[in-house]
A and B are shown apart, each in its own frame.
Chain A
Amino acid sequence: MKRINLLAAALCLLLTVGLLVGSLLPGQASAADGAAPEKTIVMGTSPDYPPYENVDAAGSGDYVGLDIDIARHIADRLGYKLEISALDFNGLIAALQSHRVDFVMSAMSATEERRKSVDFSDYYYFARNTIVSKKENGFASLDELKGKRIGVQLGSTQEAVASGMKDVEIKKLNKISDLIQEIKTNRIDAAIIEDAVAMGYTDANPDLNFTMLEADSSSDGYAIAFPKGSPLTAQFNEALKEMKADGTLQKLVDKWFPEDREAKSKEGGGGFRLNFAKMEKYIGYLLRGVYVTLLFTLVSALFGFIWGGILSLFKLSRFVVLRGFATVYTSIFRGTPLLLQLMMIYYAVPQLFGYNIPALLAAGLAFGLNSAAYLSETIRGGILAVDKGQREASLALGIPYKTMMISIILPQAVKNILPALVNECVALVKESSLVSVIGVADLMRRASVVQADSFLAFEPLLIAGAIYYVLVLVLTSLARLLERRLRRSD
């Protein structure tokens, strides 16, 4: 009975901490708050595609860009309050279909393929494609790319262009910044990227340049996506028409795309150079990710330790059911990828329990549950390594089981396994970067936001790496202090 109480207490603790964490992070659970008091519409977007949408990481941290501005104007005209939900580009259609968002604006081309799953508004912008390459290569047309290795963004219209070409080796990547990095390291010869984006990157990377391609009238323009049959589609089209008529749309386009864009192929030195001067203004934004990463590590380590401790007691219990449960649990959580567990919890919980679990809580839960599986084995080993006589001496003094475990056995076990516990914590700090797949703005996620915002592929990663290293260094120093304290009885 006592053990079950302990378990319940631990779960309560976790839930409290988790909810607390969830409430600290605005915007994660917005779509689920249901029963909207005023008319709120939620826009889904992948804010890593300036100048259409990105995070103003150097300044306010708000979402900015052409799509954001257009959306705000339309929402204003229609009398809605706009909320923005940041998602991965590949998850946008799914978010529409599951009604997590009301509409999507993310420089999304209204392709035939997509029209099968969602409705689109009228086009609001047509982009032109460019070939981006190292300056010394300077491809003038698609024909010159024959026999070369070219890169495109997965799921983009450029992917369709590239797949229509012959004699080329195509590499598809998730992010534009990855494509840029591939060019700089000579893994691909060129990438097909749309004009506004190419401009930003070639500005920031003097060793690259781009060539405009002829406008392709047959290609699809960018449009706003809605769930099938949404009443919003007609309302948005009406608003777009008005904005086109009164020149608002053109004004917004001009704001984000300066006039002299074609003249922008410019001079500059080649070679591999790092540009950290440009990073300075992003440091604040990146450091705020440290808080998320640390909070997340703390929650999952604490939960993992408590739950792992309970599981290890199950494994040492004389009750077959508890032993069996703990063994099966460990084998499942150790036997499947952490990323998969994270996705399962994030996507399955809303469907099973109708609770739209905040991303950080889902991540803390997934990592805690996973970590507990490993720690339960470590702790079990630590407990078994404590001299059997300690247990007998406690029993002989009439000390109850729980008191014995908490005050006599575990302190000695923890002392023995401290190095392993520190390893687990360090691993958690670094594995925490996985949470960026579900949109938590941790350090790693912020690094890729800065990549997009600054058009620099390498520097944000180096800075994030340095911050991780310092975090781990601090953590290990703290652990050393703790160890010294525990060893004073030797």
Chain B
Amino acid sequence: MTDKKNEPAIIVENLTKSYGKLEVLKGISTTVVKGEVVALIGPSGSGKSTFLRCLNMLEVPTSGKIVIDGTDLTDRRTDITRVRQRIGMVFQHFHLFPHMTVIDNLTFAPVKVKGMSKEEARAKGMLLLERVGLKDKADVYPARLSGGQKQRVAIARSLAMDPDIMLFDEPTSALDPEMVKEVLAVIRDLASTGMTMLIVTHEMKFAREAASTIYFLDGGRLLERSEPASFFAKPQTERAAKFLEQVL
């Protein structure tokens, strides 16, 4: 792991995104290194979700450049489908495939997209389910699961594709409070394995403990980028200080 440290995983250059006249991202530049765990925080409407969704082109940037592992995503010739296979994404509302059982949710993409054999995919899927503590739910349909269980399955589904990078878009915002913990535990566990991760979250305690870097966004700009300890102890901008005052 250590030898890969400081190798860039994601390079973002002057990224902007507008919806008509509304400019949501106003030029963001940053580099995420391999194994880095980034927590994106900021008030709602600050552009943090949009920024995250640009990283796998669910939102197409208006201008700027995103380079992941040497591949320029904004280049028209890039096969974005292939790039996405290496970037996992977890959504606020899980988006499990409701017409498939839990294990089928996990094996569908590896089998259909990567051409993995069904047996292999199933074995791998069962290991992942065990890892998120849901081995016994393999053959039930998502409708039978609680929110926390659904989100853990969604994480396992992303991991089944063996991604290099994981994106989390407010993974606990739609959960009842007692279920937040189980999901955060899974994400924290994942962070400790050296996976490159970007997490949009409102869980400040979690961000402080699990992230290696905090990004503070407001008004479509990346205002602060620092280590959790220093950010939470002494934010550099007045805007961040005010935000922390409100949420802590």
Interface residues as binary, B156-168 with A (CB distance below 8 Å gives 1, 0 otherwise): 0110010000010
Partner of A396 from the list B58, B82, B93, B112 (CB cut-off 8 Å) is: B58
Interface residues as binary, A395-429 with B (CB distance below 8 Å gives 1, 0 otherwise): 11111100100011001100100000000000000
Q: B112 contacts which chain A residues (CB < 8 A)?
A: 399, 403, 407
Chain B residues within 8 Å of chain A by Cβ, number: 33
Q: A403-B113, A489-B143 are in contact. Are A395 and B84 (CB under 8 A)?
A: yes
Taking the complex as formed, is B141 at the interface, i.e. its CB lies under 8 A from any CB of chain A? yes
- Segment of A4-12, A71-79, A386-394 in the binding face: A386-394
A488 to B142, CA, bound (A): 11
Partner of B109 from the list A399, A486, A490 (CB cut-off 8 Å) is: A399
Known: A389-B91, A403-B112, A489-B143. 11 other contacts (CB 8 A): A393-B89, A396-B87, A397-B85, A397-B109, A398-B113, A399-B81, A399-B108, A399-B113, A400-B113, A489-B98, A489-B100
Enumerate 21 A-B pairs (CB-CB under 8 Å) in ascending A order. A393-B89, A393-B95, A393-B97, A393-B154, A395-B56, A396-B87, A396-B167, A397-B84, A397-B158, A398-B86, A398-B161, A399-B108, A399-B112, A400-B113, A411-B99, A412-B98, A412-B99, A488-B141, A489-B99, A489-B100, A490-B141
Question: B242 to nearest A CB, angstroms?
Answer: 33
Question: Is A490 touching B85 in the complex (CB atoms < 8 A)?
Answer: no
Residue ID in chain B nearest A404 by CB atoms:
B112
Q: A411 contacts which chain B residues (CB < 8 A)?
A: 99
Taking the complex as formed, is B88 at the interface, i.e. its CB lies under 8 A from any CB of chain A? yes
Question: A488 to nearest B CB, angstroms?
Answer: 7
Q: B91 contacts which chain A residues (CB < 8 A)?
A: 389, 392-393, 396
Question: Is A398 touching B99 in the complex (CB atoms < 8 A)?
Answer: no
A400 to B114, CA, bound (A): 11
Question: Is A396 touching B99 in the complex (CB atoms < 8 A)?
Answer: no
Question: Is A392 touching B58 in the complex (CB atoms < 8 A)?
Answer: yes
Question: Is A489 touching B108 in the complex (CB atoms < 8 A)?
Answer: no
Q: B82 contacts which chain A residues (CB < 8 A)?
A: 398
The list of the 7 closest CB pairs from A to B, nearest first, reads A398-B85, A389-B95, A393-B95, A396-B89, A398-B84, A489-B141, A397-B109
* Those of B144-187 within 8 Å (CB) of chain A: 154, 157-158, 161, 167
Q: A389-B91, A407-B112, A415-B99 are in contact. Are A400 and B81 (CB under 8 A)?
A: yes
Question: Is B58 touching A398 in the complex (CB atoms < 8 A)?
Answer: no
Q: B81 contacts which chain A residues (CB < 8 A)?
A: 398-400
A398 to B87, CA, bound (A): 9
A465 to B74, CA, bound (A): 63
A415 to B98, CA, bound (A): 11
Question: A1 to nearest B CB, angstroms?
Answer: 14
Residue ID in chain A nearest B105 by CB atoms:
A393
Q: B86 contacts which chain A residues (CB < 8 A)?
A: 398
The range of chain A's interface size is: 20 to 34
Interface residues as binary, A455-490 with B (CB distance below 8 Å gives 1, 0 otherwise): 000000000000000000000000000000010111
Residues on A lying within 8 angstroms of B by beta carbon are 387, 389-390, 392-393, 395-400, 403, 407-408, 411-412, 415, 486, 488-490
Question: A262 to nearest B CB, angstroms?
Answer: 75
A147 to B150, CA, bound (A): 82
Q: A403 contacts which chain B residues (CB < 8 A)?
A: 112-113
Question: Is B99 touching A395 in the complex (CB atoms < 8 A)?
Answer: no
A398 to B89, CA, bound (A): 10
Q: B84 contacts which chain A residues (CB < 8 A)?
A: 395-398
Q: B109 contacts which chain A residues (CB < 8 A)?
A: 397-399
Question: B143 to nearest A CB, angstroms?
Answer: 5
Q: A415 contacts which chain B residues (CB < 8 A)?
A: 99
A408 to B99, CA, bound (A): 8
Q: A403-B113, A489-B141, A489-B143 are in contact. Are A396 and B56 (CB under 8 A)?
A: yes
Question: B166 to nearest A CB, angstroms?
Answer: 11
Q: A398-B81, A399-B109, A490-B143 are in contact. Are A387 and B95 (CB under 8 A)?
A: yes
Q: B161 contacts which chain A residues (CB < 8 A)?
A: 397-398
Residue ID in chain B nearest A414 by CB atoms:
B99
Question: A470 to nearest B CB, angstroms?
Answer: 32
Q: B56 contacts which chain A residues (CB < 8 A)?
A: 395-396
Q: A412 contacts which chain B residues (CB < 8 A)?
A: 98-99
Question: B76 to nearest A CB, angstroms?
Answer: 15
A150 to B150, CA, bound (A): 76
Partner of A390 from the list B97, B157, B167 (CB cut-off 8 Å) is: B97
Partner of B108 from the list A390, A395, A407 (CB cut-off 8 Å) is: A407
Question: A100 to nearest B CB, angstroms?
Answer: 51
A412 to B93, CA, bound (A): 17
A319 to B101, CA, bound (A): 35
Question: B156 to nearest A CB, angstroms?
Answer: 12
Residue ID in chain A nearest B85 by CB atoms:
A398
Q: A486 contacts which chain B residues (CB < 8 A)?
A: 99
Question: A397 to nearest B CB, angstroms?
Answer: 4
Question: A489 to nearest B CB, angstroms?
Answer: 4
* Those of B102-133 within 8 Å (CB) of chain A: 108-109, 112-113
Q: A392 contacts which chain B residues (CB < 8 A)?
A: 58, 89, 91, 95
A407 to B98, CA, bound (A): 12
A399 to B88, CA, bound (A): 12
Q: B83 contacts which chain A residues (CB < 8 A)?
A: 398
A407 to B104, CA, bound (A): 12
A396 to B93, CA, bound (A): 14
Q: A395 contacts which chain B residues (CB < 8 A)?
A: 56, 58, 84
Question: B157 to nearest A CB, angstroms?
Answer: 7
